[in-house]
């Protein structure tokens, strides 16, 4: 019989609805039940595409004996970290403080007052590699709870006190400038893997936000070293197994330093961020590889993650069913043997594909299978031959059982996708991608925003979810809307972005200018989460800082610019010391130091010369530049929809571009080459 999770909308929670565990969703009723029964709470946090979450579920949550013990001695709460990042952040901070590491699945034992007293991540069904079994952990916690209640209470209270003492105060740290950004570049240079690209060792994650910083730093300073690190890392990833050589799109991370074997889950946020990075690399260098990867990644998102309602689903699983065994196996959908290539392509083309994609008899993955790559020394194939091989392999792969899809729409990640698709559509003259971005933005307005512009975190099947948006939702959605405004020339998106950044200032900002992840009136947890570090995606803190800065550049609003500068104190404090973990903040700081520049393009909408100036402006590499396009905005308010267009006149009755910093403008121009030079753009 299904448990309480059967009434939830989260795909992750629904995966556990038929467990014999008597799961509760996070709710006041669950905590009341624990207090009434006098038992501890077992909090299990994960997400639908998490491989080890599935493993723990199969080994323990689907085991009748284990479930019976859990039901008798605990109140068991299951949380989707993607729906409730605030809960995840609070308890992950406790896990990391206590154990020095974290990850998912996260297992935390709480008192009835939500105070944590014991932590872990994945526990195996029997002891191994120095880890206790899951049942041993359950029994140990039960013994402590019954036999040493005073000790458990003291531990829980001490942990809560320690967490409460971790208040961040970066609002007074100062505004980052050229010195801090140069220091961050030096720190990244020390950690750079000059042989394989990227930073650090295995596992190796795509450093999307750091790459964006490097591209912006090169654009502002001309640093060839910054550009080289970005370009070489992008090429290494694009050639590696972390990139889907057939269908496009990136896996979450590589388990090795060489980018060969990925952890196969595909996340929307990774692909949105990387799509934009490769588009910006093409914008800076004209690289054919960067152009191809940007477009293939955009097409992957549209083809495999777009929902019927026009939004974008969260993720694809790492695991899928292996046809011969019927087991769910990681990478089963993506890996190949030489024999499988020959079966699909024939002997001759199979051998060509084997050499071209680095498929070996021994295999680069597991059980003699290989993850497709593009080795530097592979054979050269003409475009037609390669297209035919890829088409046949894609068709054959489509016959395999596909990975599951988590089809909930997360506001923040859709904001990132909107920005990436809008820019790719503009850069590469793909209006269909701009249309997909606009449809996703429409969904966020219709479904996720209420009458006061407050955001809901998620939706599914066009129905809004129950959880309030967090700071990253406001920052990333505002960024998506601002990008869409620059690309489409539709001022309504600037207006919607304004609603969101105003709410950031009113509901998420402390007196010192630092930012919280949850609103002032959000559900009170044991600690109000506040994390400025950029990890897999921009933190809410730095995403909001970027949106505030861009909105200020569009409108001339000093309060919004001041709020952005105060929020960027975190970059002043962390940038030189931990640049890998504040990459988006560094990118926003580059825009701040550069201006950011404000570009106004005026002219009749049907004039192709205006369209050419507009595209040239969008192709400018000046960090964080904002672009407004439309008719001149007259003193009576008629005309163009953007404040930047106010009283901008045509020169010689021709479409004209104005490039300004802090609303002090260079000479207006009607010439594409001159505009490109003013913005560091690719010349038309």
Predicted confidence (pLDDT) per residue in 668-684, tens digit:
999 999 999 999 865 54
The residue-averaged pLDDT of 301-317 equals 97
- The yes-or-no verdict on residue 425 having pLDDT over 60 is yes
The residue-averaged pLDDT of 126-150 equals 90
Predicted confidence band of residue 94 (pLDDT cuts 50, 70, 90): confident
pLDDT for the residue numbered 288: 96
CA distance 91 to 19: 24
- The yes-or-no verdict on residue 31 having pLDDT over 70 is yes
pLDDT for the residue numbered 583: 97
Identify the residue with better confidence: 279 or 640. Answer: 279
Query: What is the CB neighbour count within 10 angstroms for residue 28?
Result: 8
- The yes-or-no verdict on residue 482 having pLDDT over 80 is yes
The residue-averaged pLDDT of 260-272 equals 96
pLDDT for the residue numbered 103: 83
> Over pLDDT 70: what percentage of the chain?
97
State both tokens at 9: 């909308």
Query: What is the CB neighbour count within 10 angstroms for residue 348?
Result: 9
Predicted confidence band of residue 570 (pLDDT cuts 50, 70, 90): very high
Out of 1-10, 206-215, 247-256, 356-365, least confident range:
1-10
pTM for the structure as a whole: 0.94
Q: What is the DSSP string of 361-381?
A: SS-SSSTT-B-----TTPPP-
The residue-averaged pLDDT of 82-94 equals 92
Out of 156-165, 418-427, 528-537, least confident range:
156-165
pLDDT for the residue numbered 278: 98
Predicted confidence band of residue 538 (pLDDT cuts 50, 70, 90): very high
State both tokens at 175: 């505004």
Identify the residue with better confidence: 581 or 380. Answer: 581
pLDDT for the residue numbered 172: 66
- The yes-or-no verdict on residue 27 having pLDDT over 60 is yes
pLDDT for the residue numbered 204: 95
The residue-averaged pLDDT of 75-84 equals 96
Predicted confidence band of residue 292 (pLDDT cuts 50, 70, 90): very high
Query: What is the CB neighbour count within 10 angstroms for residue 362?
Result: 6
Out of 46-55, 467-476, 477-486, 579-588, least confident range:
46-55
pLDDT for the residue numbered 597: 96
pLDDT for the residue numbered 170: 66
CA distance 273 to 275: 6
Q: What is the DSSP string of 155-203?
A: HHHHHHHHHHTT----TTS----HHHHHHHHHHHHHHB-TTTSSBSSSS
Predicted confidence (pLDDT) per residue in 331-376, tens digit:
999 999 999 999 999 999 999 999 999 999 999 998 899 999 999 8
The residue-averaged pLDDT of 654-670 equals 92
Predicted confidence band of residue 25 (pLDDT cuts 50, 70, 90): very high
675 exposure class (CB count in 10 Å sphere: 0-12, 13-18, 19+): buried
Of 25, 17, 22, 16, the closest CA to residue 465 belongs to 25
**Mean confidence (pLDDT) of the chain:** 93
State both tokens at 375: 């080795």
pLDDT for the residue numbered 127: 87
Predicted confidence band of residue 29 (pLDDT cuts 50, 70, 90): very high
CA distance 102 to 93: 8
The residue-averaged pLDDT of 160-179 equals 77
DSSP 7: G
pLDDT for the residue numbered 343: 96
Q: Which residues contact 631 (CB under 8 A, 6 or more apart)?
A: 602, 603, 604, 605, 639, 640, 645
Q: Whose structure tokens read 């600690």?
A: 527
- The yes-or-no verdict on residue 635 having pLDDT over 80 is no
- The yes-or-no verdict on residue 378 having pLDDT over 80 is no
The residue-averaged pLDDT of 23-42 equals 96
């Amino acid at each position: 019989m299904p448990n309480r999770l059967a009434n939830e909308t989260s795909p992750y929670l629904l995966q556990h609805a038929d467990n014999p565990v008597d799961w509760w969703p996070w709710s006041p009723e669950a905590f009341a039940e624990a207090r009434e029964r006098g038992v501890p709470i077992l909090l299990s946090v994960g997400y639908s595409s998490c491989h080890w979450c599935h493993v723990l579920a199969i080994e323990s949550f689907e085991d009748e004996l284990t479930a019976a013990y859990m039901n008798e001695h605990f109140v068991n709460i299951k949380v989707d970290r993607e729906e409730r990042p605030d809960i995840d952040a609070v308890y992950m901070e406790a896990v990391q403080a206590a154990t020095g590491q974290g990850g998912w699945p996260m297992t935390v034992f709480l008192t009835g007052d939500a105070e944590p007293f014991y932590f872990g991540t994945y526990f195996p069904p029997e002891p191994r590699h120095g880890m206790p079994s899951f049942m041993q952990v359950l029994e140990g916690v039960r013994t402590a709870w019954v036999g040493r209640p005073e000790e458990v209470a003291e531990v829980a209270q001490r942990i809560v006190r320690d967490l409460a003492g971790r208040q961040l105060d970066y609002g007074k740290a100062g505004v980052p400038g050229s010195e801090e950004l140069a220091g961050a570049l030096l720190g990244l240079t020390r950690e750079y893997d000059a042989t394989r690209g990227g930073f650090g060792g295995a596992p190796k994650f795509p450093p999307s936000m750091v790459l964006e910083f490097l591209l912006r730093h090169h654009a502002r300073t001309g640093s060839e070293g910054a550009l080289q690190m970005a370009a070489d890392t992008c090429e290494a990833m694009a050639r590696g197994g972390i990139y889907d050589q057939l269908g496009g799109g990136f896996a979450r991370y590589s388990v090795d330093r060489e980018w060969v074997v990925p952890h196969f889950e595909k996340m929307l946020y990774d692909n949105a961020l990387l799509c934009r990075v490769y588009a910006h690399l093409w914008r800076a260098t004209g690289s054919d590889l960067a152009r191809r990867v940007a477009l293939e990644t955009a097409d992957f998102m549209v083809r495999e993650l777009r929902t019927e309602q026009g939004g974008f689903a969260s993720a694809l699983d790492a695991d899928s069913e292996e046809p011969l065994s019927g087991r769910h196996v990681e990478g089963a959908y993506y890996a190949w043997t030489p024999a499988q290539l020959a079966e699909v392509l024939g002997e001759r083309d199979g051998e060509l594909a084997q050499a071209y994609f680095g498929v070996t008899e021994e295999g680069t993955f597991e059980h003699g299978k290989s993850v497709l790559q593009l080795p530097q020394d592979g054979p050269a194939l003409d475009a037609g031959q390669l297209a035919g091989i890829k088409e046949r392999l894609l068709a054959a792969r489509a016959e395999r059982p596909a990975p599951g899809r988590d089809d909930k729409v997360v506001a923040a990640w859709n904001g990132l996708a909107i920005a990436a698709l809008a820019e790719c559509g503009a850069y590469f003259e793909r209006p269909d991608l701009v249309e997909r971005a606009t449809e996703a933005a429409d969904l966020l307005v219709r479904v996720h925003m209420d009458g006061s512009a407050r955001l809901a975190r998620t939706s599914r099947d066009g129905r809004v979810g129950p959880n309030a948006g967090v700071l990253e939702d406001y920052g990333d959605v505002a960024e998506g809307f601002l990008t869409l405004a620059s690309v489409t020339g539709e001022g309504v998106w600037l207006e919607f972005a304004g609603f969101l950044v105003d709410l950031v200032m009113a509901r998420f900002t402390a007196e010192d200018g630092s930012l919280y992840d949850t609103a002032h009136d959000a559900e009170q947890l044991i600690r109000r989460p506040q994390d400025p570090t950029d990890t897999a995606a921009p933190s809410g803190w730095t995403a909001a800082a970027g949106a505030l800065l861009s909105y200020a550049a569009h409108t001339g609003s000093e309060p919004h610019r001041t709020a952005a500068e105060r929020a960027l104190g975190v970059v002043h404090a962390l940038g030189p010391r931990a640049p890998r973990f504040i990459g988006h903040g560094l990118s926003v700081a580059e825009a701040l130091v550069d201006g950011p520049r404000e570009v106004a393009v005026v002219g009749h909408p049907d004039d192709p010369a205006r369209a050419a100036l507009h595209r040239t402006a969008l192709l400018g590499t000046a960090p964080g530049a904002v672009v407004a396009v439309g008719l001149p905005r007259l003193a009576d308010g008629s005309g163009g929809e953007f404040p930047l267009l106010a009283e901008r006149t045509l020169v010689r009755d021709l479409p004209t571009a104005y490039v300004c910093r802090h609303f002090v403008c260079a000479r207006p121009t009607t010439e594409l080459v001159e505009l490109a030079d003013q913005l560091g753009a690719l010349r038309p």
